[in-house]
Amino acid sequence: MVDSTCSQFVKRHRGKASIVALAAVLSGCGMPASLLPRNAQPTATGETPTGGPSADQEKKTGGSDLTAHFARVRAADPCDLVPHASLEKYGPEQLTVRGSGITECQYLTGYSDPARSVYSFKIDMHAHFTERDARDAESERLGDRTIYREEYSTDSASHRSCHYKVPYDGVEGSAMALDVVQTPPRGQESREWPQRCTAAKEYLAKVVDEVLALPPREGNAVGVLGKDPCARKAAILSTLGRAYRLTGSSYSGPYRCDLTLENAGKGQELTVTVAYAFHERQKPGVPTARIKGRRTTIDGLYAVRSTSELDITRSCGNAVELRRATNSRKNDAHYVSVGLSSAKLEVKDEDDDFGAPPVSCALADRLTRIVLAGVR
């Protein structure tokens, strides 16, 4: 069923089948999401091989404005920006949790008594948000700002949660986000929290100015914090050699870099993805005939290698644990992911074979070591 779905999608998109264009289905075809170009996200253009991006490219991607914005996001620390005092009425703080995207910070506040509700207040310094998203959301006023309240059809906690986004001025595609959720006492039925959006809006009023200002972090950044995922681009391109021509370089998030290259001799389009994130310890998924994962080590660090051989693309990537988890939930381990995805450079007609060229795991390992050298 998966292969059939993927094949049908690509047949509808012949003639423009690049890895980025197909990212929407590749994740559903079993490609590891952490090693895929991120669809439905703004992309900030990095270096353009044939000169600067055109005005149309700038408008579509956010261009240099979004690139500079992502640099400011990396320089800030979300857990420096959220005041504790304003949450005291909900009870003593229980836990501070950093999100997997690194740009998030969550405070769980409430009484330690399991018979009491727990309240979660989570901010994200970067959330995908465009003009189209604004049209689909409920606009409200907060002082002199327009803020947007979103509801998710898949949110089973919608009766006790509230979600706001506030766009950054002059940056298309990025907003700060606030998610507030009440969790009922252990063993008790989930009930509506009528004050959920009132509480969220009150808290947002206290934090929005400082978050949107993105002040630099107070302490030193460690591990992947603050690191630029495109910083090793020159070394990566040097390792690939002149046979590969860079056709695209972009940030699809503050901590994600995608390089797209062409090798005319091999008839190959190659995407190199570098991403940093916080996670619990990663483990290989359940293997299939075409998708496999295994534990390994790279330069003495625990890692998981993922490979796939699909009709559309072939891939090999590593997720390396740079620093072990330290919090009580064991979900803040620092991970460096480096992946290669290979696709046929050109598909001439609907009956042409996909013929994705092979991808080298030895090359993926070399590039992983190059990236690790920049963050260790």
Task: Please check whether residue 224 is in contact with residue 376, taking contact to mean a CB–CB distance below 8 angstroms.
Answer: no
Instruction: Compute the distance between CA of residue 136 and CA of residue 150 in angstroms, rounded to an integer.
Output: 8
Instruction: Compute the distance between CA of residue 368 and CA of residue 236 in angstroms, rounded to an integer.
Output: 9
Task: Please check whether residue 120 is in contact with residue 104, taking contact to mean a CB–CB distance below 8 angstroms.
Answer: no
The per-residue pLDDT for range 272-314, each reduced to its tens digit, is: 999 999 999 999 999 999 999 999 999 999 999 999 999 889 9
Q: How far is CA 241 from CA 58, 110, 245, 359, in A?
A: 28, 56, 9, 15
pTM exceeds cut of 0.95: no
Region 78-94: mean pLDDT is 83
Can you read off the two tokens belonging to residue 333? 């381990």
Residue reference for tokens 């929407």: 24
The per-residue pLDDT for range 136-175, each reduced to its tens digit, is: 999 999 999 999 999 876 668 889 999 999 999 999 999 9
Checking if the pLDDT of 13 tops 90, the result is no
User: If you ran DSSP here, which 8-state letter would residue 316 be given?
Assistant: E
Number of helical H runs and strand E runs in the chain: 8, 15
CATH, domain 77-213, list 1.10.1790, 2.60.120, 3.40.1350, 1.10.150: 2.60.120
User: If you ran DSSP here, which 8-state letter would residue 225 be given?
Assistant: T
249-252: list long-range contacts, CB under 8 Å, 24+ apart: 249/45, 249/46, 249/47, 249/48, 249/49, 250/43, 250/44, 250/45, 250/46, 250/61, 251/43, 251/44, 251/46, 251/66, 251/67, 251/70, 252/37, 252/38, 252/41, 252/42, 252/43, 252/44
CATH 2.60.120 domain span(s) along the chain: 77-213
- Which residues is 129 bridged to in the sheet? 173
The per-residue pLDDT for range 351-368, each reduced to its tens digit, is: 567 789 999 999 999 999
